[in-house]
Amino acid sequence: MKTTALFLSLLLGGSTLLGLGMPQDQEPLGEDELREHMESIEDAVKRLRRSLRDPANLAESLELVARMQSDALVCKGLVPPLADTLPEAERAAFCAAFRRMMVDFLGAQLELEAALLDGDAEKADAAFARVRDFEDTGHERFTLEEDE
């Protein structure tokens, strides 16, 4: 275990020294990770908008929903960049509220999956609309920029 940890820190530290890692003023890894998974969610939503139009695309829609769920699950465990700008005393409540909304976001995605598996197009459309509404609600409360 210790050898693996040492190897990893040498690898990461070494790449930074070689200029391949993060420059001093770049953000912590978790923030980039959150944005990457958010971008992946955005991509899945765009594709779903098309695939959900036709029941013949069921397999593709189910795959996209599953991908969105795993991205959201990772996001749920990360800290939004805005947290770093808040007073220490407010951070824990902010992170808990973020996690709570992620739980609801995932809930809407599970409803979408259930509707697809049940072959209920009407319910699937309603659940997808709820999933999409989370973008504005979530970003209003938890992002640095309102229009991100």
Q: Which is nearer to ligand HEM, 32 or 54 (CB)?
A: 32
* Residues engaged in binding ligand HEM (CB under 6 A): 34-35, 38-39, 41-42, 45, 80-82, 98, 101-102, 105, 131-132, 134-135, 138-139, 142-144, 148
Q: Residue 15 Cβ, how far from ligand HEM at the closest point, in Å?
A: 23
Q: Residue 10 Cβ, how far from ligand HEM at the closest point, in Å?
A: 30
CA dist list (Å): 123 to 43, 103, 108, 132, 135: 22, 20, 11, 14, 20
Q: What torsion, rounded to 10 degrees, do the Cα atoms 76, 81, 84, 86 define?
A: -90
Q: Which is nearer to ligand HEM, 1 or 25 (CB)?
A: 25
